[in-house]
């Protein structure tokens, strides 16, 4: 196991100290409080689209994530030798549950709870009091544009802003000979993100299921052509046409092939397929853009629920085993957990799929919903 030198540990500690001092004026300090199962005390947080946030609000969000990156890990080294900070605790629990939380019915409930767990961590452990954003991908993916304009529009998204955002694409690294079929069409990067609020971030575990200490940069590998196959307004509208949850989840997740990726895989592989962290099924939360992507996936699901709330509030289904549609259907009583260490206050607290079906129980909502295919009982999608 690699060990940081004394000088290295001092430098790392100094970096976090500087970050704390720099963000002290941005973040207020708070602590946990007793409450119901989700520690929800009545205040509802409204999630908003990234580009509608002011620069100060964007900075507060990224500062809170960087604060989590500077909090020491709870996961013991004996369990995860490479885990160094609270953010690693989250990445580790996703890594360890990978095949139980993808291509199964509880994919969306689990990731709703996972995203909320980070938000709670930011608020309770780092004093975050601003809005948790989402990324409305269709605003950066116009399928009607000529190819080069489509690429330019995606790469110019405020999400990748080098001053207040998540950082630009990495330098291009060619796909190894003979592995072209393993790369999303039109990938353009693969190197370290050169700027943005996470330029100096380190990914400490992986790749894939490895838990040894392996610090390396945050790599980004945008594939705008591929991303916009799946993240255009028409693709999201198609997803909203599903008639039941099992069908909806199937369209959202798609499959493991690039030709059937769905809006979930379209975001992951469009941001970081092949050499990017977002393309690693195990470690994708290591790229902070994971959270705004999944926040929007959650918004799509909640919008779909709201289109027929009485029928869909508790509509659940889909396989309990990875891509095995012959396995028993997922039930509302199915447990979901953040593992023993990601959830600091209430580990394995008896949470089930049913507990997260209504986001109001988690004390948040969205500023806008996606439009229903043939109904007007929810707020229209517009900016």
What are the pLDDT digits (tens) for 109-123?
Answer: 999 999 999 999 999
Mean pLDDT over 153-163 rounds to 98
CA of 331: how far to CAs of 71, 90, 98, 244, 340, in Å?
A: 36, 25, 19, 14, 23
The answer to whether the CB of 227 falls within 8 A of the CB of 236 is no
- In CATH, what number is assigned to the domain containing residue 198? 1.10.1280.10
Give the per-residue pLDDT at 107.
98
Q: What is the mean pLDDT of the chain?
A: 89
pTM score, whole prediction: 0.89
| Banded pLDDT at 16 (limits 50, 70, 90) | low
Whether 381 is in a domain gets the answer: no
- Residue 285's contacts (CB-CB under 8 Å, 6 or more residues apart) are 90, 91, 94, 114, 291
> How far is the CA of 368 from the CAs of 47, 127, 290, in angstroms?
9, 26, 20
Task: Specify if 34 maps to a domain.
Answer: no
Written as six digits, the tokens of 235 are 């693709």
Please check whether residue 93 lies inside any domain of the structure: yes
In the numeric block, the tokens 């809005």 are attached to 131
| Biggest CA pair distance of the chain | 63
- 33 falls within a domain: no
Q: Is residue 207 part of a domain?
A: yes
Q: Which domain holds residue 236?
A: 6-27+40-366
Total of domains in the chain: 1
In a domain, 203, yes or no: yes
The tokens describing 24, both together, are 């002290």
Share of the chain residues as helix, strand and coil, in percent rounded to the nearest 5:
45, 10, 50
Q: Is the dihedral of CA 276, 248, 116, 339 positive or negative?
A: negative
**Would residue 97 count as lying in a domain?**
yes
pLDDT in tens, 258-270: 889 999 999 999 9
Which distant-in-sequence residues (6+ apart) come within 8 Å of 189 by Cβ?
169, 170, 171, 172, 173, 219, 220, 221, 222, 275, 276
Assigned domain for 45 exists:
yes
């Amino acid at each position: 196991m690699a060990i940081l030198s004394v000088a290295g540990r001092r430098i790392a500690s100094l970096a976090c100290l500087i970050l704390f001092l720099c963000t002290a004026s941005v973040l207020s300090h708070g602590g946990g409080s007793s409450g119901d199962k989700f520690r929800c005390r009545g205040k509802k947080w409204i999630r908003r689209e990234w580009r509608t946030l002011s620069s100060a609000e964007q900075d507060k969000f990224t500062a809170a994530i960087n604060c989590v990156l500077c909090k020491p890990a709870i996961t013991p080294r004996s369990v995860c030798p490479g885990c160094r900070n609270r953010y690693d605790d989250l990445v580790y629990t996703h890594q360890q549950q990978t095949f139980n939380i993808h291509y199964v019915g509880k994919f969306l409930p689990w990731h709703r709870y996972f995203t909320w767990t980070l938000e709670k961590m930011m608020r309770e452990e780092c004093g975050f009091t601003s809005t948790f954003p989402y990324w409305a991908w269709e605003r950066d993916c116009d399928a009607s544009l000529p190819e080069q304009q489509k690429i330019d529009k995606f790469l110019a998204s405020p999400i990748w802003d080098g001053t207040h955002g998540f950082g630009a694409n990495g330098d291009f690294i060619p796909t190894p000979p003979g592995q072209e079929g393993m790369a999303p069409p039109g990938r353009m990067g693969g190197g370290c993100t050169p700027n943005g609020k996470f330029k100096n971030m380190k990914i400490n575990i992986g790749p894939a299921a490895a838990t040894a200490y392996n610090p390396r940069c945050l790599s980004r590998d945008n594939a705008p052509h591929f991303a916009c196959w799946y993240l255009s307004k028409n693709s999201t509208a198609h997803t909203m046409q599903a008639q039941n949850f099992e069908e909806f989840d199937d369209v959202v997740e798609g499959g493991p092939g690039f030709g059937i990726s769905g809006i979930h895989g379209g975001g992951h592989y469009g941001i970081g397929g092949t050499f990017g962290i977002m393309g690693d099924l195990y470690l994708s939360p290591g790229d902070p853009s994971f959270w705004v992507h999944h926040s929007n996936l959650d918004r799509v699901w909640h919008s779909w629920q709201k289109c027929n709330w009485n029928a869909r509030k508790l509509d659940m289904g889909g396989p309990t085993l990875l891509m095995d549609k012959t396995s028993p259907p997922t039930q509302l009583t199915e447990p979901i957990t953040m593992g023993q260490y990601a959830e600091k206050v209430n580990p394995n607290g008896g949470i089930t799929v049913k507990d997260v079906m209504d986001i109001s129980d988690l004390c948040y909502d969205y500023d806008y919903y996606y439009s229903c295919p043939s109904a007007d009982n929810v707020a229209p999608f517009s900016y």
